[in-house]
Amino acid sequence: MKIVENAECVIQSVKDNGGFGNRLVQMGVLPGSHLKIIRVGFKGSTVEVMIDQGQSIALRSKELEMLDCKLVAIPLSALSTGDDEKYRIKKFNGGQGFLKKMKDRKINISDIFEIIDDHPFELKTDKGIIAVGRGEAEKIIVEPAD
Amino acid sequence: MNLLTEMADKNITIAICSIPNTGKSTLFNKLTGAHQAVGNWAGVSVEKKTGHFKLNGYNINLIDLPGAYSITPTSIEETVVRDYLLKTPPDYIINIIDARNMYRSLGLTLQLAQSGIPMVVAVNMMDEARRAGLEIDIKKLSNHLGCQVIPIVARTGEGVDYLKNALLGIITDPSRFRPPYISRPPIVEDAIVTLAKKIEKIHPDPALNKTFIAERLLESGDLPKDVPINKEALKEIVKEVKHLRSKTEQSLGQDLTITCAQCRFNSARGLVNEATSETLKVPDKFTNALDRVLLNKYAGLPMFFFIMFLLFQGIYALGTPLQALVGDFFSDIQSSLHNTSLLESLPDFVSNLLIDGVLNGLGIVISFFPLIAIFFIFMSLIEDSGYMARAAFLLDRLMHSLGLDGKAFINILLGYGCNVPAVMGTRILSSRHNRIVTMLLIPFTLCSARFQVFVFLAAILFAPSVAPWVVFGLYVLSFVMVFVVGFILKLFKFAGKPEPFIMEIPPYRVPTVNTVVLRAWMEMKSFIYRASTYIVGGVVLVWLLTNLPVDSQPGSIDTWAGQIGQFLQPIFHPIGIGWREVIALIFGFVAKEIVVGSMAVIYGTNTATQILASITPLQGISFMVFTLLYTPCIATIAAIKSESRSWKITGISLALGLIIAWVTAFVVYQGGLVLGFH
Ligand SMILES: Nc1nc2c(ncn2[C@@H]2O[C@H](COP(=O)(O)OP(=O)(O)OP(=O)(O)O)[C@@H](O)[C@H]2O)c(=O)[nH]1
Ligand SMILES: [Mg+2]
């Protein structure tokens, strides 16, 4: 999975990778468990992850990347033009003001889009093309729409 | 029946067993009145401890176990738990569930409940759960788990009486306990039943449930260690286990260990959903907000160093005036004793030994009493607040460059208090290799005993405004040397082997006055013990060495001490350490506090002026650097020996310390001379 803050994933399967898998499993992190990256450390090597049941643990991003999991949420800002999948807007990580701004610009939850440009972001939805700023893109959480 | 056997019948062993950081030691202390170390990170307790209390005439031996996520161990502390439970099953178990995070705790609870050992479950941290608005249906939990469930707040003791009643209930009527049901895939269920029947025949320890043993055998690859069956019988079964294991794994397409854990945690999840109002979002707001600052990507690490600096400032500013006060008190006693008739009636040799030897040496050591108390109060604030795990998170990257990880850094940080528990604490690391490397690094941390030597000498040799900076500089040096030595070890292919890093980050907690004061008090007690035993012994020996033979001028080169020092002089001359300090260093090998005591004895009354007259600041610094880095005390060596179970490693640690200390002191001293210091 992509190592960015606010990315979320669901574990698909666990292999005992030199004790890593076993340890996770004994802690209750199993296929079907939901992980959310809540903090990425300096230079990204250590990350803090929240397990669905509310325990926060520190892991290495290398090991996290090797876990077999399915991405279920990621901030738009972590995506780029190369990701030629379709995405769906999942939620807005912002206050009242941000929500209103999104509403005014007709960006809604469940909208499906493709990324045309990522610098700045241009998204193509069925309603047309929307431009989104960097800061905004960090607060827009999306998921792959398959 | 006579009274004696009746009494003997009433001895009962109860083990407290749960996942890490749920309050086992806190509850243990509440029940037994003991003072086990408590801290807000996973892995405070690394060995089992026994305490006692009375419950309606029963003598209870209570065992505090390290935290473990399951009986399938992934580290030494967990191995301690498994070995204990399977080889010497207790009569009863107290299992603790973290109220804020029941799912995580329940995996072990369900596993233990299968064991057949009657159990009472305590739901701890109810205060935090209440504050977060979390409702827990205790009755439902109790029904599902098949045992009594008691909500408690171990910190305050709330509910502990109910827990005692529940224990009493289960002691008098064990039938109140029934193992819960965990649903498993039919093929696993069949395998367990088949195996359980086999085990029934060879009849292992009757305390443990056969189904439980069967599951243990199937789940774990580590057969002989897992189950208390005699070797012969085991051989027969091993084949069967292997067969069943591969059969089920093939059919499920997944490791059996994972399947079994999955079954347990599925039950746990169901139970949590039924018994709680909602799942709580941990970390709480407070933790979140604080971590946004303290674990900030860029500011986090600088902030760590700044916090350490503030702590140092606090300890120094509060502790040194108190130390001076106690020190003055002792020198007053000393000078007033000199003139008492009682002592004058004694032979000179004896009265000198008492006053200039024992009293002078010990007085200076004891004057550090308040400083050490304050030191450990600060230390336990760090330990009990939850910052320890944060420090580990922040330093993980740096430790990774040594092939170690953030958890190893917790041990390094503990070393700054005392090396001995730090060495034992390496049990939280999962590989032996990394434990050894960490153990070799810990002796380079500036422990509280060395701190005393530095405070003592810096105050004499430097101006009051400079002294704290000299001591702080030594802290920095110590920190740097830990990493330098780590890299040196790596050069010699003795680095840690990168291993998976998984560490729980607990919510912040406000440390309780109780824990902090108790912690400081325990350290005080062990300090008094050391002072009254080998520090006195060391000081007396030093006095004898510097005063014998009788016809020599005390403290001169003709004494035995002088001779020894003279003999070693060629080694120490290049680093600017005179024969008197060499004697102090030799005794410092026993305990670092003795260094201070011996200096006082060697230099006699008016120690400070005498020292100032014969040691230059540069020589003083070289001496301090050597003291910082050379071989830790005997207790640390013993801990390294017993934890590594290897004389070779112990030898390497000794040699490493001496060599590094000499080389560094050489560079400092000769470098200083070249630069024109003296
Ligand atoms: N709020 C609250 N905190 C508690 C309670 N009981 C324990 N704690 C805190 O939880 C932390 C862990 O307590 P310990 O007793 O060290 O836990 P442990 O289970 O022995 O931990 P390990 O030995 O590391 O496995 C400490 O910071 C305690 O102060 C409680 O009832 N309420
Ligand atoms: Mg403990």
pLDDT tens digits, one per residue of B269-320: 999 988 887 655 555 788 888 999 999 989 999 999 999 999 988 888 888 8
Percent of chain B that is helix, strand, coil (3-state, to 5): 65, 5, 25
**Tokens found for residue B216:** 């243990």
What span, in angstroms and rounded, lies between the C-alpha atoms of B654 and B275? Answer: 55
Asked if the C-beta of B262 comes within 8 angstroms of chain A's C-beta atoms, the answer is: yes
| Kind plus residue range of the DSSP H or E element containing B449 | helix B448-461
Q: What would the pLDDT profile of B580-603 be if each residue is shown by its tens digit? A: 889 889 888 888 888 888 888 888
CATH superfamily to which A8-74 belongs:
Ferrous iron transport protein A (FeoA) (2.30.30.90)
**Residue B154 CB contacts under 8 Å (≥ 6 apart), including other chains:** B23, B26, B27, B30, B96, B122, B124, B125, B160
Confidence of residue B231 (pLDDT cuts 50, 70, 90): low
Asked whether the predicted pLDDT for residue B160 surpasses 90, the reply is yes
Asked whether the predicted pLDDT for residue B485 surpasses 90, the reply is yes
Asked if the C-beta of B258 comes within 8 angstroms of chain A's C-beta atoms, the answer is: yes
DSSP state of B337: H
Query: Mean pLDDT of all residues in chain B?
Result: 86
Asked whether the predicted pLDDT for residue B351 surpasses 80, the reply is no
Peptide bond into B549 cis (omega under 30): yes
Pairing state between β B119-124 and B92-98 = parallel
Q: Which residue among B261, B393, B499 sits closest to A48, beta carbon to beta carbon?
A: B393
| Kind plus residue range of the DSSP H or E element containing B120 | strand B119-124
A55 with B101: Cβ contact below 8 A: yes
Residue reference for tokens 């990324």: A115
**Residue B234 CB contacts under 8 Å (≥ 6 apart), including other chains:** B223, B224, B227
**Tokens found for residue A76:** 């738009």
Q: Which residue in B has a C-alpha nearest to residue A40's C-alpha?
A: B297
Asked whether the predicted pLDDT for residue B223 surpasses 70, the reply is no
Kindly give the distance from the C-alpha atom of residue B37 to the centroid of ligand 1, in angstroms, as a whole number.
Answer: 10
Q: Which residue among A31, A52, A55 sits closest to B504, beta carbon to beta carbon?
A: A55
What span, in angstroms and rounded, lies between the C-alpha atoms of B184 and B161? Answer: 37
Confidence of residue B3 (pLDDT cuts 50, 70, 90): very low
Residues of A in contact with B101 (CB under 8 A): 53-55
Is residue B342 within 8 A of residue B305, CB to CB? The reply is no
Mutation to test the A interface, candidates B76, B502, B504, most A Cβ within 10 Å: B502
pLDDT value for B205: 60
Asked whether the predicted pLDDT for residue B203 surpasses 80, the reply is no
What span, in angstroms and rounded, lies between the C-alpha atoms of B566 and B570? Answer: 8
CB of B384 shorter than 6 A to ligand 1: yes
Output B356 or B596, whichever has higher pLDDT.
B596
**Tokens found for residue B505:** 């980050």
Stretch B484-513: mean pLDDT: 85
What span, in angstroms and rounded, lies between the C-alpha atoms of B394 and B390? Answer: 6
What span, in angstroms and rounded, lies between the C-alpha atoms of B306 and B300? Answer: 10
Is residue B94 within 8 A of residue B83, CB to CB? The reply is no
Confidence of residue B158 (pLDDT cuts 50, 70, 90): very high
B396 with A42: Cβ contact below 8 A: no
Output B29 or A120, whichever has higher pLDDT.
B29
3-state SS track over B381-431: HHHHHCHHHHHHHHHHHHHHCCCCCHHHHHHHHHHCCCHHHHHHHHHHCCC
Which range has the top average pLDDT, B237-241, B440-444, B556-560, B582-586?
Answer: B440-444
**Tokens found for residue B81:** 């738990």
Output B19 or B222, whichever has higher pLDDT.
B19
DSSP letters along A15-40, please?
A: --STTHHHHHHHTT--TT-EEEEEEE
pLDDT value for B280: 55
Instruction: Give Cα separations from B19 to B102, B377, B586 (angstroms).
Output: 11, 27, 44
Stretch B456-465: mean pLDDT: 91
Stretch B82-96: mean pLDDT: 90
Q: What would the pLDDT profile of B513-523 be if each residue is shown by its tens digit? A: 888 888 888 88
Looking at this predicted complex, what is its ipTM? 0.90
Burial of A53 (0-12, 13-18, 19+ CB in 10 A): buried
pLDDT value for B195: 85
Q: Which residue in A has a C-alpha nearest to residue B299's C-alpha?
A: A42
DSSP letters along B347-363, please?
A: -HHHHHIIIIIIIHHHH
**C-alpha dihedral over B332, B334, B338, B339, to 10 degrees?**
30
CATH superfamily to which A79-144 belongs:
Ferrous iron transport protein A (FeoA) (2.30.30.90)
Stretch B359-366: mean pLDDT: 79
In chain A, list all ranges with CATH 2.30.30.90. 8-74, 79-144
Q: What would the pLDDT profile of B43-58 be if each residue is shown by its tens digit? A: 888 888 999 999 988 9
Q: Which residue among A18, A39, A55 sits closest to B104, beta carbon to beta carbon?
A: A55
Is residue B509 within 8 A of residue B23, CB to CB? The reply is no
What span, in angstroms and rounded, lies between the C-alpha atoms of B615 and B439? Answer: 34
The alpha helices in B114-209, defined as continuous H runs, are 126-131, 138-145, 160-172, 186-202
Residues of chain A with pLDDT under 70: 1, 17-18, 84
Least confident of A90-94, B26-30, B284-288, B654-658: B284-288
For a pLDDT cut of 70, what percent of chain B falls above it? 94
B74 with A63: Cβ contact below 8 A: no
> How many CA atoms within 13 Å lie on the side-chain side of A31?
14
Single-letter amino acid code for the residue at B472: F
Which of B629, B590, B639, B592 shows the shortest CA–CA distance to B423? Answer: B639
Asked whether the predicted pLDDT for residue B343 surpasses 80, the reply is no
Asked whether the predicted pLDDT for residue B5 surpasses 50, the reply is no
Confidence of residue B228 (pLDDT cuts 50, 70, 90): low
Beta-ladder partners of A88: A112, A143
